[in-house]
Amino acid sequence: MLEVIYKEKYIIYLKGDELHMIRGLYEAHLPVSNLKGSIEFYKNLGLELAWRDEETAFFWIEKKKSWLGLWEGEENKLPYHPSIKHIAFRVDYSSMKKSVSWLHSKNIAAVPFGGRKSGEPFVRPNQGNASVYFDDLDGNNLELMCFVEVPERLKNISAKLSLDEWENLLDKEGDF
The domain in which residue 47 lies consists of 24-78
In a domain, 48, yes or no: yes
Residue pLDDT, tens place only, 8-53: 566 665 666 555 678 889 999 999 999 999 999 999 999 999 999 9
In a domain, 16, yes or no: no
Pair 91, 158 in one domain: yes
pLDDT at residue 81, as a whole number: 87
pLDDT at 115 over 60: yes
Ordered alpha helix ranges (H), the chain? 35-44, 93-97, 99-105, 163-173
Q: Looking at per-residue confidence, does 94 or 176 come out higher?
A: 94
Domain count across the chain: 2
The answer to whether the CB of 118 falls within 8 A of the CB of 108 is: no
Residue pLDDT, tens place only, 129-166: 999 999 999 999 999 999 999 999 999 999 999 999 99
E-state strands within 46-172? 48-52, 56-62, 66-72, 86-90, 110-111, 122-124, 129-135, 141-147, 161-162
Instruction: For residue 80, name the pLDDT band (cuts at 50, 70, 90).
Output: confident
Q: List the CATH number of the domain containing 171.
A: 3.10.180
Pair 91, 144 in one domain: yes
pLDDT at 4 over 60: no
- Other CB atoms within a 10 A radius of the CB of residue 125 amount to 21
In a domain, 161, yes or no: yes
Pair 73, 86 in one domain: no
Pair 67, 90 in one domain: no
Pair 74, 111 in one domain: no
The residues pairing with 60 across neighbouring beta strands, listed in sequence order, are 48, 67
Pair 94, 167 in one domain: yes
Residue pLDDT, tens place only, 43-72: 999 999 999 999 999 999 999 999 999 999
Pair 93, 122 in one domain: yes
